[in-house]
Each structure stands twice: as C-alpha cells, then as structure tokens.
Chain A
C-alpha cells in the first residue's frame, strides 16, 4: 500500500472548551479528489485548518508524507479596501519562483488579463481563480480548497468546477475541498466525506447519497433554519460506514 499524502487519525479539536471535531479519521491518497460536506458549524473549515497546521489538535495525530507540498485557498482573505495590492504582487508573495511561473499559472486559471488589476476590484469568481492560481504556484501534491465556490452564482460555480477538473486532468495532484453544494461536486469526486463534528459517512458519491445518515443530515438542514451544534440527527452505525 502506498503512503497516503495525509493521514488524519482520530483527531479532536477544541476551541475555547467547545469541541468542534472529534473522532475524525481521514486518509487522502495520491491523486484522489475528496470532498467534505456538512451543515454550517460542522467543522469543515476547522478540519482543513487542522490539516494545514493553522489550528492545534487536542488529541489524535495528523501524519503528512515527507516533503508534501500543499496548495491552499482560504475561504476569504482580509483585503477589505485597506490594502492596495495587484494580482501580480499577490502571487509574488508566494515566494521566489522560476521566471514565467506566475504568467503560466494565471493562464491556467484563465485570468491572464487581470494580472495588473487590484485585488479589491475583482469579482467573487475572479478572486477565487486568483486564489487558486496562488495555490497552484507551488506545484502542490495536494490542493486544499476551503469553500472555493462560496458567494458564486451557479454558472460561475459550474465554470470553477470545470476549470478545476481540467487542471486536475493535466496533473496528478490530489484535491481536498470543502463544499456546501453537493450536486456539482459529487460528479468529480472520488470520495465524499459527510462531516458533522465527526465523520457521519464517507465513500463514493453514489454510496454516500444513498446513506441514511446523509439524508438525515441534509434533510435536517433544510428544516432547521438555525442549525445547532447538538446532535440533532440519529446515528445508525450499522449503515454509516467509517473508514
């Protein structure tokens, strides 16, 4: 068996005494596309932050393959209007890179014409592409995307996923992403992980969408406008597969 890129074992994350994640196992292998879904407050972003090391885990362990290069796109960046910065300069902040790398990556995500634009002038979709460009700059083995389509309308979201599929097609990097939209993501994913503080179910898209705990989770979300962090869904561990 090959060494996984990332092996998350039985982790728990507590912030200010509140348990955001518990008993989470997640293994990402080379070239896999893994999508994490779950309601608001399910700990999806927390899981990604734990994997990149931006948040401390309180127990368990996260093993990364030696020399693993991670490309990461944050859910948002603190731009506001206060920092004047061009797309070109923003990419340059990724550190020293071979000449032409920035132009190449901008062409890949199809925003070459925005090179000299100010970051604060970009639309939501353009900003996501630039963030993706920055993540791709380091030629990552693993691309981690935190709700990359948040705030995009449906056509823009579809375009973003098509772009991602194209990029993925031309390289063998693995992708780990958080999504709140199931339908667009699942088609491309090898594996879907359904998260709500812990892993409720995971597996191939078809398997997960047939899983009762998935149905309950997203059914519950539709009915409860205010999602609470308590366990408001039942568990049938016989049918909920944990890997």
Chain B
C-alpha cells in the first residue's frame, strides 16, 4: 500500500507537470528561460512578503512573481543592455533580495532549504486542491488563447497585422507564468521552477511534429519524471524536488539520443 504522503506528493507533482507543459513549451519557443528564472526567484521575496503581512504564502508569491514578470517584460527590451543581461540581473537580484529579506524578518524563521528546493513530501490535501484549481485556470487560459500565443511567438508583427493585441499576448503569458510559480514553489522551490518548465519541453522537442504534440510529450515526460523522481527519492532518501529534475534531464538526454539514432 502506498503511503498517504507519497500519494499526495505524486498527485501534486502530476498536476504541476501537466500545467508546466504548455508554459514550458512557450518559454522554450520564445527563448525566455532566464525570464522564468527571474519570475521564479522573485517567489522567495514573495514568501517573505507573505510572512511579513500574514498572508497565505501562495498569495505573496503570486503577487511578487506577477509584479516581477511585468517589470521584466516591460524593461527587458529597453535601455542599453542585451536582453539576457537584464534578465540575469533581475533573476539574481530577486534571489539575493529574497534571501536577505527572509533572514531579516523579525520573529519568523523562513525555512530557506524548503523555499529554495521545495518540499513536495509535505503537501497537504488542501494544498493540492489549491494547486489543482490554479492548474485548471492555467490550462484553461492556455487552451482559450493558444492560437494567439503561438502567433505571438512566431511573429509579434504578424499577430498585430492580423488584428491581435501584443499587450494581451504578453500579459497572458507573464501572468500565467506568475501563477505557475506560486503553485509550484512549495513543491520544487524557487531554484528548480524553471527546470520544471523547460526540461520536459526541451526533452519533448526531438520527438514532436507539431506544437500541440510537443506540449503533450512535455506533459508526459514531466509526469514520468515526477513519478520516477519520487520513487528514486523514496528508495535513496535523496531530496524529492531535485530527484524529479534529475529524471527530467535523463529524459532530455534519452530523447536526444533517440533522435541521433534515427537520423
């Protein structure tokens, strides 16, 4: 019989892997991995804010990650720096500010290990209800706006010329990403959120023939990685979050190896 906490971890992980698939593909297609980092790292500051104001953790994280995503997407293409420099500055500053804020908070101790690496084994059923609700929202928005998001990825000019709104495209993408960060934070921690997004998507790429296929494969690989990672963590006592990411990266290597063999 599978232990209850393992069942909870598995459920939460599978839901997150599912929600990560379309977002992760968009991040890979748009070459915005660092953007994911900046938004993810801002989550730590969100935890500190939530604790300081007595808000639920997810609310604090969603607010700060959302603000970060908006600021970054607004400022990345302005100014005198290359986009990756700006994103790097934001990503690492957010992390450092979060660490400092967490240590300066009077009266409360933030479990840094948990904030950075997550603790999927401690999720409760009410956490899972929240995560599932959030995942349904993300997947619903993705499904409803999928054509716009693909067009915005391929060519912003084409999107506008065909009557679309670039602002709506960018807002949809950044705000769903912020919501995802808030959901995934407790499970895998701020450091590995981007990994949850881009590794399954990157692993899915060599096998996919259409954008939708890539999303489905990414979801499958992500869910397999959650299952295998939790199993590995269970038998070896390794931390669960990193174990899941390790399994994703194994998937990435195998998928590229498969591609190599076929060509």
B-contacting residues of A (Cβ < 8 Å)? 16, 49, 52-54, 70-72, 74, 76-80, 82-86, 89-90, 93-95, 118, 134, 138, 144, 146
Given contacts A54-B161, A72-B157, whether A16 and B78 have CB atoms under 8 Å apart is yes
Minimum CB distance partner of A146 in chain B:
B157
Query: Across the interface, which residues of A come within 8 angstroms of B145, CB to CB?
Result: none
Taking the closest CB of chain B, its distance from the CB of A99, in whole angstroms, is 18
* Docked CA distance A16–B81 (Å): 12
- Give the interface segment out of B40-48, B118-126, B177-185, B209-217: B209-217
18 contacts between A and B (CB under 8 A): A16-B79, A49-B157, A54-B157, A54-B160, A70-B161, A74-B158, A77-B158, A78-B31, A80-B31, A82-B29, A83-B29, A84-B208, A84-B214, A85-B210, A85-B211, A93-B154, A95-B162, A118-B209
Given contacts A54-B166, A77-B154, A93-B150, whether A82 and B31 have CB atoms under 8 Å apart is yes
Taking the closest CB of chain B, its distance from the CB of A16, in whole angstroms, is 7
Query: Across the interface, which residues of A come within 8 angstroms of B211, CB to CB?
Result: 83-85, 89
19 new A-B pairs (CB below 8 Å) besides A74-B157, A82-B28, A84-B208? A49-B157, A54-B157, A71-B161, A72-B161, A74-B155, A77-B155, A78-B29, A78-B31, A79-B154, A82-B205, A83-B29, A84-B205, A84-B211, A84-B214, A85-B210, A86-B210, A93-B150, A134-B158, A146-B157
Query: Across the interface, which residues of B come within 8 angstroms of A79, CB to CB?
Result: 154
**Contact between chains at A94 and B31 (CB < 8 Å):** no
**Contact between chains at A138 and B162 (CB < 8 Å):** yes
Query: Across the interface, which residues of A come within 8 angstroms of B168, CB to CB?
Result: none
A-contacting residues of B (Cβ < 8 Å)? 28-31, 78-79, 147, 150-151, 153-158, 160-162, 166, 205, 208-211, 213-214
Total A-B pairs in contact (CB under 8 Å)? 71
* Docked CA distance A86–B211 (Å): 9
**Contact between chains at A78 and B153 (CB < 8 Å):** yes
**Contact between chains at A83 and B209 (CB < 8 Å):** no
A84 interface neighbour in B147, B155, B162, B213, Cβ under 8 Å: B213
**Contact between chains at B147 and A93 (CB < 8 Å):** yes
Query: Across the interface, which residues of B come within 8 angstroms of A89, CB to CB?
Result: 210-211
* Docked CA distance A118–B210 (Å): 9
| A-side interface mostly | loop
* Docked CA distance A138–B158 (Å): 13
* Docked CA distance A95–B147 (Å): 8
* Docked CA distance A68–B157 (Å): 17
Taking the closest CB of chain B, its distance from the CB of A72, in whole angstroms, is 3
**Contact between chains at B154 and A83 (CB < 8 Å):** yes
Minimum CB distance partner of A72 in chain B:
B161
**Contact between chains at A83 and B161 (CB < 8 Å):** no
* Docked CA distance A102–B147 (Å): 17
Taking the closest CB of chain A, its distance from the CB of B29, in whole angstroms, is 5
Taking the closest CB of chain B, its distance from the CB of A208, in whole angstroms, is 27
* Docked CA distance A82–B205 (Å): 7
* Docked CA distance A146–B208 (Å): 30
Query: Across the interface, which residues of B come within 8 angstroms of A82, CB to CB?
Result: 28-29, 31, 205
Q: Which 9 A-B pairs have the closest CB atoms?
A: A72-B161, A54-B160, A52-B161, A74-B155, A54-B157, A84-B208, A77-B155, A83-B29, A74-B157
* Docked CA distance A96–B58 (Å): 38
Query: Across the interface, which residues of A come within 8 angstroms of B161, CB to CB?
Result: 52-54, 70-72, 144
* Docked CA distance A23–B137 (Å): 47
Minimum CB distance partner of B78 in chain A:
A16
**Contact between chains at A72 and B214 (CB < 8 Å):** no
Minimum CB distance partner of A16 in chain B:
B78
Query: Across the interface, which residues of B come within 8 angstroms of A95, CB to CB?
Result: 147, 162
Taking the closest CB of chain B, its distance from the CB of A51, in whole angstroms, is 9
B154 interface neighbour in A70, A72, A78, A118, Cβ under 8 Å: A78
* Docked CA distance A16–B77 (Å): 10
